[in-house]
Structure 1
Amino acid sequence: MYNKSGKTNDAPQQVTRVRTPRAEDREVLATVENLLGASRVKLRCMDGVVRMGRIPGSMKKRNWIREGDIVIAVPWDFQDSKADVIWKYTRPQVSWLERKGFLKG
């Protein structure tokens, strides 16, 4: 592969670390189905439950969450139908998760 100056680009590919959900912290992978407004999203979790997710302020400032994104959610202890979104995956990270078998379907 050649860059603009005509030189080859033989740089090694970067290895990206992908955060996986921790079962001991009750973290599950989820897909964002709908944006509900007021920092709320509808999540389809990998454990088969559809939950209402809340995006905390620290994530709201950093990340832009859209429909179809893959996220890590932590279900609430006292109300299993709701969860907090704690992590959003990028496209290369999602393809890595699919290759390694973390995402079903």
Structure 2
Amino acid sequence: MVIRTRRQRIFQVLGLYAMAAAAVAYFGFHAWHGDHGMKAKQQLLAEIAELGGHLDRLKAERTEVERRVRLLRPEALDPDMLDQRARQTLNFTDPRELVLLAPGR
């Protein structure tokens, strides 16, 4: 009877260790691969960096557009800008100018 009790205790202890190891493995796996895990955090940080670069490009483009709009205001009209927009809109050129056509445009 002592042997049977000792075996039962050994199996109980091993069973508890196995269940604890399984729980640690389960939570460890989901801590790495889950929706809010380490892998998802790395992907979010990469996306944040990519979108930050995109935001910088858009801010530069917006600054350029604002500068061009400022040049077209009536109180500070730039003659070169007016000439460029008129030629582009009306599709006119000066007979003395050389026009180079780019393929695909």
Same fold (TM over 0.5): no
Q: TM-score, normalised by structure 2?
A: 0.22
Q: TM-score, normalised by structure 1?
A: 0.22
Q: Which has the larger radius of gyration?
A: 2
Structure with bigger strand share is 1
Bigger relative contact order, structure 1 or 2, given CA contacts below 8 A and separation 6+? 1
